[in-house]
Amino acid sequence: MKMEEAYQDFKDNYGQSTINPYRLWVAACTWATSSKKRSTLQNALYWRRLKEISEQAFVGEHNQQFSAFSWHIYFKQKIMPIEFESKTGKVITKYVQLPDGSTSLKSTSVMSKKEFSDYLTKCEAYATQELGVKFSEDYEFN
């Protein structure tokens, strides 16, 4: 599939007018591959967004800032759907049972491309609406 076709296919199926055009293009590039596993571009964008949130968000009564990793864990608890399609195509739960009977959250790396794209969009929306974060539109992933 050509990139232009992939872009249009993704936009027709999953694009929303509120999505940043650059982000839509990254998602379309990801969509063009046959794998259900999320791409390194998706992963880079996710961690870029978490870094931006960690730099801009001040929360709580003491106006604390938290690390990108802390936001990653927070979003898994708050935003990651309880059930989602994995990269193998199976619908799975976000929890894994531990030997002592307790549960922990699974890694976001088990999410399909579409599920991860939806998850990232929800994380961005939360950060924008609830935390006042303004995301960059540059194309560098440092």
Q: What is the pLDDT of residues 53-81, one digit of tens each?
A: 999 999 999 999 999 999 999 999 999 99
Residue 70 has a CB neighbour count (10 Å cut-off) of 14
Ranges of the chain with pLDDT below 50: 1-2, 17, 33-34, 141-142
Taking all residues of the chain, what is their mean pLDDT, rounded to a whole number?
Answer: 82
Residue 6 within any structural domain of the chain: no
Residue 57 identity (one-letter amino acid): A
Residue 4 within any structural domain of the chain: no
Q: What is the CATH number of the domain that holds 116?
A: 1.10.3790.10
Residue 13 within any structural domain of the chain: no
Number of domains in the chain: 1
Residue 99 within any structural domain of the chain: yes
Residue 30 within any structural domain of the chain: no
Residue 86 within any structural domain of the chain: yes
The per-residue b/e assignment along 30-40, b for 16 or more CB within 10 angstroms, e otherwise, is bbbeeebbbbe
Residue 8 within any structural domain of the chain: no
| pLDDT of 40 | 82
d(CA 59, CA 64): 5
Residue 3 within any structural domain of the chain: no
| pLDDT of 4 | 58
| pLDDT of 42 | 86
| pLDDT of 35 | 55
| pLDDT of 1 | 45
d(CA 73, CA 70): 5
Q: Which domain holds residue 119?
A: 35-131
Q: Where are the beta strands (DSSP E) in 19-135?
A: 83-85, 91-93, 95-97, 103-105
Backbone angles phi, psi at 49, to 5 degrees: -65, -40
Tabulate helix, strand, coil % of the chain (nearest 5): 50, 15, 35
| pLDDT of 33 | 47
